[in-house]
Structures are given as C-alpha cells and as structure tokens.
Structure 1
Amino acid sequence: MLFICEKVSYHKHIVNHQLKREVTEMKAFGYTKFGGPEVFETIEVNEPEISAGNQVIVETKVVGLNNFERSQRAGMFGGSNFPIIPGRDLVGEIIQVGADVNDFQVGDLVIAQGGPSYADKVVLTTSHIVKKPGNVSNEDAVALVTPGITAYNMLTQFTEVKKGNTVLVNGASGGVGTIIVQVAKALGAHVIGIASSRNEQLLKDLGVDEMGFYDQEDVGAKFANQADVVLNAALNGNNDALIDQVVKPDGQAATVGQGAELPNKPRVNVEHVHPLSATINHKALTELTQMLANGDVKVNIFKQLPLTLQGVIDGHELLESSHAPGRIVLVR
C-alpha cells in the first residue's frame, strides 16, 4: 500500500515565531514489542517541534486505520526501534505554522498523509496536507487518504486510463477497489468489477458496467481479452493467471500483489504498486478531495471507534479479520 511516513522528532522545547516555552507531555498510542492488538499501550511523549519553515503542527481529530499498520504491529514491516507509534492517515486542526507557511493558517482543518497519527499532535510539512472542504465530514475525509491515493495512482501513474478504456478491477469491493471503480468511471472508462457475489449490491451502487463473481463463475474466461487496463486491488493477491486471461495483448496492468508472470501476454508490463513521491501523492490527495467534495467519490465507513487506547485495540482487532466491509476510523 502506498504511503508517506512523516519523520517526527520530539524535543524538550518548541519554537513559535522565535518564542520558546516549556512543553508538556502529550498522549500517543504505540507499542514496545511486536504482537497482537493487545500490545498497544498509552505512551507519553513530548509535544512535537516545528524544525523547518514549511511545517505545521496539527491537533489530531480523526485517524484512519490501514492494514499496513496491522502488519507493522505484527513485525512484518519496518524496524524495531521501540517504542513505535504508528499511523499515517488523519484529519486535524492546525495549531501552529512555520515561518514560511502562507497557504495554511491556525484553525484550518486539514486532511493529511503523514504521522505518526496515533497521537494527540503531529508535525507535518505542507506537502502532506490539503484543506478539508466544509461539506466533507472528518470521517469521510480520513477514510479516503491512503486507499484513495493508492487507487488514484494506479489509474494515473502505474497505468494511464483514458476515456473509453475498458478497465477490469479485481478486488472491486475493497477499500482501494471501490475508489478505483469510482475514479475510473469519472475518467470515462467502462468498468468491469470482480468481487464475491455477496458484494453484488455494492458493485451496483458503485456503478460498474459489468460484474464478475469469482465464487460463482470463471471470471477469467468470462472476460477473456476484454480489458485495456487491469488493476488488481485484491489485498496481497497473486492474480497473475487472471490478469493474463483478461488483459488485451497490448494492454496495461498494475497490481498490489507480488506476482508478475504473464506467459500469454509477453508485451504487457505489470506495474507493481510502490511508494511514490510526496509531490505525486499530494496531487492525488488534492484531486481526490475535490472529487469527494463534488460527490464523484464516496467512501464506505464500516466502524467508528473512539480515539482511545481501547479504541485502537478494538480497531486492530477488526483489522485482523482482513475482511471488514469498509474503513475503520478513530474519532476524538
């Protein structure tokens, strides 16, 4: 999954327009060992400090949970420099701005991809934030961030979807897949959605043009050689055989999985989704935020929990199921 992690330092003092004051400790949720959701604990850390002119400090209002954080907590990714405070999707209020910040001011509500977001306050550069539209709820905004950026980049960076293309989305009912479908439709594509039959109504609500249910039919045979672009958004999915069947010989493909063998379509290059630059991700977040405000994109929130230690634990318990039908958000 795409992400940008904001490197954060905690110091004894913060500087605001050359005035110094003693900081008090703030609360964060993290862990000092890898394991299940129960390893989370409350950790007291010093408030963050602005160390560059293009930074702001944001007071966290809502946090979005991602499967990457579940894997990170289990010790599958990242280092072991404990304590670890995870998180990268948040909506919050700016409470302090750096000397070079002109486009944002104290009091602005912003959507951010940065962190660690499981904390009361976060320091972020302006390249990782956008203003939250007034007609968009904090919860919807935060639910959009990482899955939305991943989806948008799959359509515009890892492939190049054009009006009139037939786009097949594998994993169309998931967090990334649902956004891919909506953005692809907004781009003028003919969209084929692949999912379990239990998600038939969701696919209809998303506006897919055709549906395939992998638990009821041979979707590879049904849509053989029909897709100009194939986007595999199935979590950790190795779906080379399906891509090989459905993509046209001169088509495009991108996947969040690890496989890349298309023996029958040697001219098709399968792009693997990987982290991109902050500039690219900021453009994606900006475009998605406007689409959310305009009603072109909607998000599905499965569960709202309090931004407390128990809420974090409960949220990660839900992530463990791997099949939550929508996003999980923590609300202060």
Structure 2
Amino acid sequence: MLAYGYQKFGGPTVFEELAQSQPLPAANQLLINTLAVNLTEEDRLERLGTIQSITLPHIPGHDVIGRIVKVGTAVTDFDVGTIVAARTNHTYAEQVCLDSDLAVTVPTDLDPVTAVSLVTPGIIAYKVVRYFADVQADQTVIVKGAGSPVGLLIIQLAKRLGAHVIAVASERYASLIATLGVDQFVDYQHQNPVHVLADRGDVVINVAIDGVGGKDDLAMAKFDATIASFAHHLPATSKSIRFQAIQPTEVISDQAALQLLFKLLDTGQLTTTIDEQLPFNLTGFIQGHQRLDEPHVGQVVVAR
C-alpha cells in the first residue's frame, strides 16, 4: 500500500512515495479506499516543520473521502461499499483506517471532490457561526479573511441565518464573494475598513491568518459586540466586547457539523470553490503543495 509523505521538512519536493504495510481496522474502525483528499493550510504548515508535534517520517493529511472496504468487528452502523467522509490523520494514502465515530456518510449525489473540499473549512466555519460568534438574524456581521475557504463558507452560513454580512477581502475575491449574496464588500487594498466600517459590527469574525489586526477588529465592532478570531487575545479596550478565540471544540461535534453541511451542499444551499483538482499520485501531491504555497482561490484537491 502506497502513502505519500516526507522524511524531512521543506518545500513541496520533499514528498516521496512511502510503502506501508496493509492496514487492518481495529474493532471500532473502518478501512477505506481513498477517493479524494483535501489539501489544507494545516498540511502545509506540517510540511514546513512549524508544527512541533510532527515527527518524521510523516504521512500528512486530515480531510478524506473514501469507500469502506472493511469494518471492525464492533462496527454496526456502517456497511462495506458506503462512501464516507472524515477529518482524521494520515490521509495521504491509498487506504486509511479511521475510527467509525469520526465518519459521516456522504450523500449519493455528492461527488467526492466537492464533498472533501468541505471537510475542514466547513467544520471550522460552522462552529464559528453557530458557537463562537453565535450569529443571530438581523445582526451586522463583518467577516475578515472573507476570501479564504473558511470565510466564503462563513458568509453563506451567516446569510442563511438572516444576518447582514459585510465581507473584507482583497479585490481578487470580489466577483466570487458577490455571487454569495454578501450585503457589502470592502476591498482592503483600496479602502480602509476601519474608516468604512467604524463601530458597525454586532459581530466581527476574523479568519485571516493568525487573526491579525486585532485593533482594527475593535474599531469595527460596536460597543457591546462579539469578536471571534483566530487570534488568542485582543488589545486592551474600553468597549464591552465578548471575545471568543476560535479553537478546536467538540461542543458541536465534527460529525454533526458535517452532516448538516452535506445536506446544505446536496440541496444547493451551500457552495464550495475548487481551485484545482490533481491526480492521486506523487506528482499530484507535489503540485498540490506547490499550489498551497501560492496565492489561490478555493480548495486544492487530490483525487482518484
């Protein structure tokens, strides 16, 4: 069985084929033949060696769609042949073992490439909107980093709840964001969002890398606003802000989030953006990570 990983950190060309023994599922696990893998920013950071918990050699990957080929003896709610999605570990491989309680059945009308592009971005976006930011109808919601895969989904989920959504992103995302029904777009390259949006937000959601610009978030927020951000903290302020640092949580499970997101995607109430689809081989993973290192719009998917 082939997997794709690396024995040293560095650029995309560190990837190589890594022969692995045939995986066998434990009692509570599923064995799947991989159909599609979503390449994420987390995968890229692991490859660069910036995540200290990663040991070498390493098979990266977290988002996977696959067809079940074997079920563990204790598994009763999945059958061989079912196509499932999961957020797990070490998914850059022809076969993946995963705990059955991580798996979600993919609707039959969803193709694997579209479905896998929703896994990590969708889970984060759903938890941000429904838990960290707790978006309500008629609120003004400002989304920074709106052109990212997570940001694009946050826009759609907040609009579904009846919020007035303002997107902050660079000009190259303007046409895509306009198709999502956003109420206002602010191009930070040509406008100063702090001036345009001062004291406007009931909710400010910052999903830019590392949640940069905390002072700007405060300036755009109303006196008693909620700010949800990838940042760990905010600068001091006299405003009565409810601050939520976006981080992993099981208050809403990944499985519950994915089940709802797949229903929305399957019924045309949610869309994802694929930047590039590449073949499931060594060249595909190298090219995929080269794309991750460049400016891109949407998800990079490797699929069979």
Is 1:108 equivalent to 2:60 in the alignment?
Answer: no
Aligned to 1:281: 254
What's the TM-score, normalizing by structure 2? 0.96
- The 1:278/1:166 distance shift into structure 2, 3 A limit, reads closer
Would you say the 8 A contact 1:127–1:279 is kept in 2? no
Between the two proteins, the alignment pairs up a number of residues equal to 304
User: 2:16 aligned to 41, 44, 47, which one?
Assistant: 41
Partner Cα distance (2:282, 2:234) in 1: 40
Give the % identical residues: 37
- The 1:121/1:279 distance shift into structure 2, 3 A limit, reads farther
Aligned to 2:274: 301
What's the TM-score, normalizing by structure 1? 0.88
Aligned to 2:288: 315
Is 1:331 equivalent to 2:296 in the alignment?
Answer: no
TM-superposed deviation, 1:199: 1.9
Partner Cα distance (1:33, 1:179) in 2: 34
Q: How does 1:220-259 map to 2 (within 5 A)?
A: 220-259=194-233
Q: How does 1:14-163 map to 2 (within 5 A)?
A: 26-52=1-27, 54-163=28-137
CA-to-aligned-CA distance 1:275-311 (integer Å, 9 cap, x gap) = 2239622111111111111111100001010111111
TM-superposed deviation, 1:160: 0.8
- The 1:324/1:221 distance shift into structure 2, 3 A limit, reads same
SS in 2 for 1:206: coil
Would you say the 8 A contact 2:194–2:219 is kept in 1? yes
Structure 1 stretches of 4+ with a deviation exceeding 3 A read none
CA-to-aligned-CA distance 1:80-105 (integer Å, 9 cap, x gap) = 53210000101110111122322210
Would you say the 8 A contact 2:33–2:95 is kept in 1? yes
Q: Which amino acid aligns with 2:175?
A: Q
Q: Which amino acid aligns with 2:76?
A: N
Partner Cα distance (1:291, 1:86) in 2: 28
Would you say the 8 A contact 1:115–1:123 is kept in 2? no
CA-to-aligned-CA distance 1:29-75 (integer Å, 9 cap, x gap) = 011111111111100111222223x3111110101000111111111
SS in 2 for 1:157: helix
Q: Which amino acid aligns with 1:158?
A: F
CA-to-aligned-CA distance 1:191-235 (integer Å, 9 cap, x gap) = 111111222211210110111111111211211111111111112
Q: RMSD in angstroms over aligned alpha carbons?
A: 1.5
Q: Which amino acid aligns with 1:302?
A: D
Would you say the 8 A contact 2:127–2:252 is kept in 1? no
Identify the range of structure 1 (105-114 vs 71-80) with the bigger mean alpha-carbon deviation: 71-80
- The 1:171/1:279 distance shift into structure 2, 3 A limit, reads closer
Partner Cα distance (2:120, 2:39) in 1: 9
Would you say the 8 A contact 1:167–1:190 is kept in 2? yes
Partner Cα distance (1:247, 1:128) in 2: 37
Partner Cα distance (1:106, 1:115) in 2: 21
Partner Cα distance (1:80, 1:161) in 2: 35
Partner Cα distance (2:11, 2:254) in 1: 30
Partner Cα distance (1:278, 1:252) in 2: 18
Partner Cα distance (2:209, 2:258) in 1: 21
TM-superposed deviation, 1:270: 2.4
Is 1:260 equivalent to 2:234 in the alignment?
Answer: yes
Partner Cα distance (2:174, 2:192) in 1: 16
Aligned to 2:138: 164
Partner Cα distance (2:133, 2:76) in 1: 34
Partner Cα distance (1:51, 1:102) in 2: 13
SS in 1 for 2:68: strand
